[in-house]
Amino acid sequence: MFEISHRTEVVKCPNPSCPRNIQLSIGKVPGGVNDSGGWILQCDNCGTKFPYKVKNPDDYSSVKSGAKILDSWDNDVPESKIMTLKKHDLDSFPEDFSFDNLLFVQTGEYEKPTFSDIEENIFFCPGCKTHLEPILYAQLSDKLPSINKSINSYLNYYLKGRAGNPDSIIVVVDYQCSCGFNTKGVLYKDFIERELPIEEEHQLILIDVIGADLEFTIDGVYDRDDCLSILQKLLIRWQVYYNKVFLAVPFIGFDFKNSEAQRVELWNWILKNTIPHKTTLLTRKATLTSFLEGSANTGMDINVLKDYGLLNPTVDELTDKKALFKRDFHAKFYAGFDRKNAEVLVGSFNIHEGTYVENIHFKSYDFGDFFKKYILKMNIIFDPRIIDEEGEFLLISEHEDRKEFIAKVENYTTSRREKIYELINPK
C-alpha cells in the first residue's frame, strides 16, 4: 500500500471580523498521482462561504475543524470549477484572493508509541523474577500469523459495517516461562484499518503481564535515561488502561542557555507520550516560561501555534490556567488512575536526561488513598473529573489449545483496565 503524507494547513476565515481558525489536513501521495481542485468551504462561526484550492479534495484531504465542505471541484474536469463557483454565487470571488493568514505545519505521520524490549525491562516473570520482555516478543513473533488470521476474519464483518467500532486492539497472549510459570501478557495497538494486518510484532505494545510485581521491579536507583524509559513504558500503559494521567514535575530539562534544544525536546517527549484530554501537568511557572523561551529560540513559536489553535492542549491549559502552577514544590510523582485504582511512579526524578542517578519506585493504590496522600497534599485546585470512559476494543485472545486466536469486540464503560481484568479473571 502506498504511503500518504499529511500536512496541516490553518486558514483564518476570510471575513475580517471573524476570528475562526479553520484547520485542514492536506493529504498527498509523494511522487504519485495527486488531483488538483478545491472546495467550497463555509465557516462554522460566521457562515461565510469561500473557495479554497487544495490537492486531492475528494479523497485524501479533509477539514478537521472550523468549517464545512459544501462542494468540491476537480481541475481535470472541464468547467467543473466555474460551475461549482456559480452554483454557490462565488464566481465573483477574487481569483487572486490571497489568504494572508495561512499557516502550514508539516506534521507527517502521527508518531506511534514505541516499546523497547531491550532498554530497561519493567516486566519480570512472577515465578522466577527474570526479565521477560525480549522472550515474550520472541514468542509473539511466532504467534503473529494466527493473530492476523483472527484480525482478517474480524475485518470481513467490520468492513460490512456489522461489527462495532473498536478504538483499539487488545491482544492477550499466554506466556510460558522456562521456569514453568504460566501467565498472560496484555498488548495494545490503536485500531487503524489501514495498519492491518499487523506487520511486525513490535507494533503491539506490551502494557501488562498478569501477576508481574511492578512494585518489586520498579524500585531502586537508576540513571536518568533509564528513569525516562521506565516512565515512558508507564505512560503508554496508563493511556491505555486509565482515564487520567497526572504529572507533578517541578523541573523539565535544565535552565541553562545552552540546553534550550534539549529542554524543548523533553517537553515534546512528554507531549508525545501523553494524550491531552487525559493529562494534567503540574509544574513551576518558571519551568513553563523557560520552555516557551526555549521553543521560540529553537524555531517553534508557541504563541503562533496558540494563535492558530494548534497548541497542544496540555500546554494550552498551562498557559491559560494558573491553577496548575505551584511555586514552592519539590515533590515529583507521575500517576495514572481511574475511579478505582491508581498507579504512581515516585522518587527524586525530574524529567531530565543523562547519567546522574535518581531513586524511584512504583506503587499501586486504591484511588481514594492516592487522592488523599498525593493530590490533596499538593494543596492545589484540581478537579479529578473521574469521568468514566466508554468505548469498544477488539479483544484478541489465545485459545486454550495455543494454536488459535479469537477476535471479539468488547464494550468498556468505566476504564479499559477494569474491563480487561474482568475478562481475564471472570468471577
Give the binding site for Zn ion (CB under 5 A): 13, 15, 18, 20, 43, 45-46, 48, 125, 127-128, 177, 179, 181
Taking the C-alpha atoms of residue 226 and residue 217, their distance in angstroms, rounded to an integer, is: 13
| In the complex, minimum distance from the CB of residue 48 to Zn ion, in angstroms, rounded to a whole number | 5
| In the complex, minimum distance from the CB of residue 44 to Zn ion, in angstroms, rounded to a whole number | 8
**Cell, residue 52:** 479554497
| In the complex, minimum distance from the CB of residue 398 to Zn ion, in angstroms, rounded to a whole number | 18
Taking the C-alpha atoms of residue 296 and residue 101, their distance in angstroms, rounded to an integer, is: 20
Taking the C-alpha atoms of residue 152 and residue 252, their distance in angstroms, rounded to an integer, is: 44
Which candidate, 282, 183, 280, places its Cα nearest to that of 238?
Answer: 280
Is 128 or 304 the residue whose CB approaches Zn ion more closely? 128
- At 200, phi and psi to the nearest 5? -145, 140
Which candidate, 20, 94, 98, places its Cα nearest to that of 63?
Answer: 20
| In the complex, minimum distance from the CB of residue 14 to Zn ion, in angstroms, rounded to a whole number | 8
Is 15 or 62 the residue whose CB approaches Zn ion more closely? 15
Question: 3-class DSSP state for residue 1?
Answer: coil
SS (H, E, C) 137-178: HHHHHHHHHHHHHHHHHHHHHHHCCCCCCCCEEEEEEEEECC
Strands of 4-86 (E only): list them: 5-12, 21-28, 36-43, 49-55, 62-65, 67-74
Is 11 or 13 the residue whose CB approaches Zn ion more closely? 13
Give the torsion through C-alpha atoms of 103, 108, 110, 116, to 10 deg.
-140
Give the bridge partners for 228, in sequence order: none
Is 125 or 264 the residue whose CB approaches Zn ion more closely? 125
| In the complex, minimum distance from the CB of residue 367 to Zn ion, in angstroms, rounded to a whole number | 31
Give the torsion through C-alpha atoms of 6, 229, 346, 262, to 10 deg.
-60
| In the complex, minimum distance from the CB of residue 22 to Zn ion, in angstroms, rounded to a whole number | 8
Is 38 or 347 the residue whose CB approaches Zn ion more closely? 38
| In the complex, minimum distance from the CB of residue 68 to Zn ion, in angstroms, rounded to a whole number | 12
Is 121 or 280 the residue whose CB approaches Zn ion more closely? 121
| In the complex, minimum distance from the CB of residue 177 to Zn ion, in angstroms, rounded to a whole number | 3
> For helices 224-241 and 416-424, what crossing angle results, to 10°?
80
Is 50 or 267 the residue whose CB approaches Zn ion more closely? 50
Is 124 or 333 the residue whose CB approaches Zn ion more closely? 124
